């Protein structure tokens, strides 16, 4: 269970590929923290409108907004702490970063209007990721929260996320910047081409192939930014420290589907390599494999050929005949699916450290978009002692209710 994990850490980072319920999991963890008395904040990346609405917030912004205690009460038990939520606005975050570090208003305006900057702040690979981490940094530095839950961008190449700070730093490498900036500042753009034979030559070739304006803009951007590089580098070090601090934990959220687990495997290997090992795994939307009485089925487990028997058992048990065939077929479908999932999850676990906590959340028959719904997930994430909706003891021979 994730109880200890969340209790013992100040920062919980939810990672994983897109569409696996990362945002919901992040919100669920933060809500649990609030109910347990923490001052919690959840930073989401997805435009999770419905989640925001369900927390009584009309629109999440890039400032943390406190969730109304009355809404928290909808969770079914009194909250000892507080919950705030915020959403990353990438463009805005970049602009504020520039504003914070720019030495003068003039430089700030020059950067903000630069076409290359506009592109960088919105499109540069890793830019979104970098900003999420930058926001995490700000939240960590403020004393207002003692549980910070971060929902990372749903990127397929999710690792971009953690490499982003280094990438941005390399990108702003001073030596290269000098090539762009110095000639431009000293004698204007045209001089760059004659100043240094090699660089000039390269510029000329690239210009011929692409058109001039882009390069001039790039150069202008770098010259405007040149005073800010030290600040960026220092920031990168702080971020590096936060991500590797003992008070930061990474929780991998994944689904049991093949494609998702393939990504997750790759992801966890790389995290290990980057010295940011996983602290826990959440398998979300798992179909439950029932502990059927193996003696009742020919092959020892439910198979397609057993549909008729299941149907007969239903009729015997007093279930109305209408739809009995569908009920039986659906059951077999679910069991086949569940078995495939169980095997894949087992295999996936085999590649992880043995003591790593992992939890399984079932594929609820409703989508979870309000505090009460999130609390339903608590039972699975934080142990059976939390609420009434206790999970069955999967694979341990116990039977639900």
Contact indicator for 116, 68 with CB cutoff of 8 Å = no
Give start and end residues of each alpha helix (H) in 276-323.
307-316
- Mark the segment that binds another protein (CB under 8 A) among 73-81, 199-207, 224-232, 245-253: 199-207
80 is an interface residue for another protein by CB under 8 A = no
Binding mask 354-383 for another protein (x = CB under 8 A): ---------xxxxx-x--------------
**Binder of another protein out of 343, 353, 372, 393 (CB under 8 A):** 343
Q: Which of residues 282-301 bind another protein (CB under 8 A)?
A: 287, 290-293, 296
User: CB 205 → another protein: shortest distance, Å?
Assistant: 5
Give 77 or 174: the residue with its C-beta nearer to another protein: 174
Helices 127-141 and 115-123, axial angle in degrees (round to 10): 80
Is 212 or 305 the residue whose CB approaches another protein more closely?
212
Alpha-carbon span 203 to 71, nearest angstrom: 59
Taking the CA atoms of 167, 172, 174 and 179 in sequence, report the sign of the dihedral they define. positive
Phi then psi for residue 50, to 5 deg, are -65, -35
In this complex, which beta carbon is closest to another protein, that of residue 85 or of residue 139? 85
Least distance CB 291 / another protein (angstroms): 8
Q: Of 320, 354, 396, 397, which lies in the binding site for another protein, with binding defined by CB under 8 A? A: 320
Given 131, 310, 361, 381, the residue binding another protein (CB under 8 A): 310
Output the smallest distance, CB 20 to another protein, in A. 6
Contacts of 338 (CB under 8 A, 6+ apart): 286, 287, 288, 289, 290
Q: How far apart are CA 164 and CA 203, in angstroms?
A: 27
Residue burial 354-383, b: 16+ Cβ < 10 Å; e: rest: eeebbbbbbeeeeebbbbebbbbbbbbbbb
Return the residue of 8, 18, 247, 300 that touches another protein, per CB under 8 A. 18
User: Is 273 an interacting residue with respect to another protein (CB under 8 A)?
Assistant: no
Min separation Cβ 1 and another protein, Å: 23
Q: Work out how close the CB of 169 gets to another protein at its nearest, in angstroms, rounded to a whole number.
A: 13
Tracing tokens 């919105």 back to the chain, one arrives at 122
Q: Counting contacts by CB under 8 A, is residue 59 touching another protein?
A: no
- Using CB under 8 A as the binding rule, whether residue 328 contacts another protein is answered as yes
Among 116, 130, 184, 250, binds another protein (CB under 8 A): 116
**Applying CB under 8 A, does 275 fall inside the site for another protein?**
no
Buried b (16+ CB within 10 A) or exposed e, 60-70: bebebbebeee
Query: Which residue number, 265 or 387, has a Cβ lying nearer to another protein?
Result: 265
What six digits make up the tokens of 294? 């193996």
* DSSP helix/strand/coil, 174: helix
Query: Which one of residues 3, 95, 163, 217 is an interface residue with another protein (CB under 8 A)?
Result: 217
Report how far residue 82's alpha carbon sits from residue 75's, in angstroms, rounded to the nearest whole number. 13
- Of 276, 319, 356, 390, the residue at the interface with another protein (CB under 8 A) is 319
Edge-to-edge strands, sheet with 65-66: 65-66, 82-87, 39-44, 147-151, 11-15, 248-254, 278-286, 358-362
The region of 182-190, 245-253, 272-280, 323-331 touching another protein under the rule CB under 8 A is 323-331
Of 145 and 222, the one with the shorter C-beta distance to another protein is: 222
Among 5, 65, 133, 215, binds another protein (CB under 8 A): 215
Residue 387 CB, nearest approach to another protein (Å)? 19
Pick from 185, 336, 356, 390: which binds another protein (CB under 8 A)?
A: 336
Interaction between residue 138 and another protein (CB under 8 A): no
Give the Cα separation of 177 and 150 in Å (integer): 33
Q: Is 46 in the site for another protein (CB under 8 A)?
A: yes
Collapsing DSSP states into helix, strand and coil, what is residue 232?
Answer: helix
- Alpha helices, DSSP H only, in 211-284? 213-225, 229-244, 258-273
């Amino acid at each position: 269970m994730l109880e200890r994990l969340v209790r013992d850490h100040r920062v919980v980072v939810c990672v994983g590929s897109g569409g696996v319920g990362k945002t919901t999991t992040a919100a669920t963890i933060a809500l649990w923290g609030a109910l347990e008395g923490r001052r919690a904040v959840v930073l989401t990346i997805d435009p999770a409108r419905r989640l925001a609405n369900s927390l009584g917030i009309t629109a999440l912004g890039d400032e943390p907004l406190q969730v109304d205690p009355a809404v928290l009460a909808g969770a079914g038990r009194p909250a000892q702490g507080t919950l705030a939520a915020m959403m990353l606005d990438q463009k805005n975050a970049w602009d504020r970063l520039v504003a914070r570090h720019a030495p003068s208003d003039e430089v700030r305006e020059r950067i903000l209007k630069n076409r290359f900057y506009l592109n960088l702040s919105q499109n540069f690979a890793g830019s979104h990721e970098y900003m999420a981490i930058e926001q995490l940094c700000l939240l960590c530095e403020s004393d207002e929260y003692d549980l910070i839950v971060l929902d990372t961008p749903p990127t397929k190449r999710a690792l971009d996320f953690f490499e982003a700070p280094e990438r941005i730093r390399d990108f702003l490498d001073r030596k290269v910047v000098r090539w762009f900036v110095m000639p431009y500042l000293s004698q204007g753009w045209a001089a760059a081409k004659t100043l240094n034979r090699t660089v000039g030559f390269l510029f000329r070739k690239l210009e011929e192939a692409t058109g001039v304006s882009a390069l001039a803009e790039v150069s202008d951007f770098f010259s405007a930014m040149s005073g800010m590089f030290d600040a960026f580098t220092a920031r990168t070090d702080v971020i590096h420290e936060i991500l590797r601090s003992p008070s930061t934990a990474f929780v991998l959220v994944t689904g049991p589907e093949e494609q998702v687990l393939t990504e997750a495997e790759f992801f966890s290997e790389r995290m290990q390599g980057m010295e940011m090992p996983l602290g826990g795994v959440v398998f979300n939307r798992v179909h439950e494999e029932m502990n059927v009485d193996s003696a009742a089925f020919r092959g020892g487990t439910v198979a397609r050929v057993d549909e008729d028997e299941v149907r007969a058992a239903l009729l015997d048990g007093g279930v109305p005949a209408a739809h009995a065939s569908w009920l039986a077929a659906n059951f077999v479908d679910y069991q086949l699916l569940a078995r495939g999932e169980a095997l894949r999850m087992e295999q996936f676990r085999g590649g992880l450290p043995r003591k790593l906590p992992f939890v399984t959340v079932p594929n609820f028959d409703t989508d979870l978009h309000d505090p009460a719904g999130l609390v339903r997930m608590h039972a699975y994430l934080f142990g059976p002692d939390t609420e009434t909706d206790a999970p069955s003891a999967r694979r341990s021979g116990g039977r639900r209710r």
